[in-house]
Structure 1
Amino acid sequence: MSPFIIAIDGGAASGKSSTARALSERFNLLHVDTGSFYRAIAAELLRRKLTPDDLPAIRAALPEISLGTQVNGRTAHMKIGGRPIDTAEIRTPEVNATVARFAAIPEVRAALLTYQRGQADVARAHDLRGLVMEGRDIGSVIFPDADLRFFLDADPVKRAERRRKEGLMDKVAERDVLDNIRLRESAKGAIMIDSTNLDLPQVVEKISGIVAEKLT
């Protein structure tokens, strides 16, 4: 039986991660935060003393990076070279400052494409109903045929405020500019959810109703 797949796209701090975690628990789905994958790759490239401007060196390094997955509860965590990547390692100021630029490199995105699609097999191997994957390019590139595609948005000022409350200083507006074309593509054909004036439980309830109806 094919895993049930929910794709959640949206800009920085639009509520993707919190919503995806809640849906994972409610519907027994693997939670896949692709942003953490890009952060892990950024942390690894920084560990190798590379910057987003070192394109030839990045291209040479990517085939050397061996990726795996460890599932804790219902959440997928990336392993590099067999080593689980610690959350603190991917939330450093250095990673916050560079992850969007690393993620914008086509070779980096291509290197992660098969790995991200492979999370459906991870969900199946752990006897989960399917997966809820959140990030960018999810509904447009990774799972364009997902059972449900959502796009979460919110006012940029509100999203920047949420980011500060999380203790993260990466610039929401700057990331939106870098991701502008990809965000527009991801929004096409997706169910739009504006979370500017909604709290998390309201967003979760709104989406859960649509998911439950699809599953019946």
Structure 2
Amino acid sequence: MTDDSFIIVAIDGGAASGKSSTSRALSERFNLLHVDTGSFYRTMTAELLRTGLAAGDEAGIAIAAQALPLETSVEGRRAQMKINGRVVPDAEIRTPEVNANVSHFAAVPQLRQALLDYQRGQAQVARDHGFRGLVMEGRDIGSVIFPDADFRFFLHADPVERARRRAAEGQTDSITERDRLDASRKTAPLACPDGATDIDSTHLTLPEVVDLLSEHLSARLGPVA
């Protein structure tokens, strides 16, 4: 990046690979704005389902996605999407219905295109709010959204371990099926970006993963105060 005082960290990976917990910890440790793009797709999915659209209606999704007014609310170090001036609560975007549909909606190219500039715009949101940088998690951050990010990581873990993590969170989520859908879509498939640091978190604790990534960031930013 051109601005040495501001960093962008991209963290990609499948469901329950540790992206969110790691990103939150890094945001706290280095004063970065945390952006969970998965929540953006969940929010869009919940809103489009509410209007009666189905995942197979690509034409309807394309029209609706382009028309939705999107804003960002910053709470603490977390960026949250606002649709029609409203932040959709987690209870509405993490339902079994959204879990079952989000990968199908996310595979629609027009929906991904509608969110492209919005996601990239989160860097300016972070700058405007005085953060040291941005840590953005998702499935195509290091490959599509910020391919020139200062740091790019890809987290993965054994499917059995990821299913255990989801169950421990009290969530119902088909890890294997979502991986298959996300990895096989034509637009921005889930994959480790070329040149990204690949980390297997199966047998690592969260603090160990956070410390591992922090070593990379500290080499650029200096030790944590």
When normalised by structure 1's length, the TM-score is 0.96
Q: Residue deviations 1:85-115, cap 9 Å, x none?
A: 2111111121111011101111111110000
- Cα distance between partner residues in 2 of 1:191 and 1:12: 18
Could you say what secondary structure the match of 2:198 adopts? strand
| Structure 2 residue aligned with 1:28 | 31
Superposition pairs for residues 32-181 of structure 1, below 5 Å? 32-181=35-184
Structure 1 stretches of 4+ moved >4 Å = none
| Structure 2 residue aligned with 1:209 | 215
Task: Note the C-alpha offset of 1:3.
Answer: 2.7
| Structure 1 residue aligned with 2:199 | 193
- Cα distance between partner residues in 1 of 2:128 and 2:173: 35
- Cα distance between partner residues in 2 of 1:3 and 1:79: 25
Task: Note the C-alpha offset of 1:57.
Answer: 1.4
- Cα distance between partner residues in 2 of 1:59 and 1:127: 34
Give aligned-pair identity as a percent: 63
Could you say what secondary structure the match of 1:31 adopts? strand
Could you say what secondary structure the match of 2:190 adopts? helix
Letter in 1 for 2:198: M
- Cα distance between partner residues in 1 of 2:66 and 2:197: 36
Pick which of 14-23 and 80-89 moved more: 80-89
How many residues align? The count is 215
- Cα distance between partner residues in 2 of 1:58 and 1:183: 21
| Structure 1 residue aligned with 2:21 | 18
When normalised by structure 2's length, the TM-score is 0.93
Two-structure CA RMSD over aligned residues (Å): 1.1
Q: Residue deviations 1:111-135, cap 9 Å, x none?
A: 1000000000000010001100001
Letter in 1 for 2:204: L
Q: Which runs of 5+ in 2 are unaligned?
A: none
Could you say what secondary structure the match of 1:133 adopts? strand
Q: Residue deviations 1:30-78, cap 9 Å, x none?
A: 0000000000000010110111011221122112211000000000000
Paired residues of 1:36 and 1:90 also in contact (CA < 8 A): yes
Task: Note the C-alpha offset of 1:188.
Answer: 2.0
- Cα distance between partner residues in 2 of 1:39 and 1:69: 15
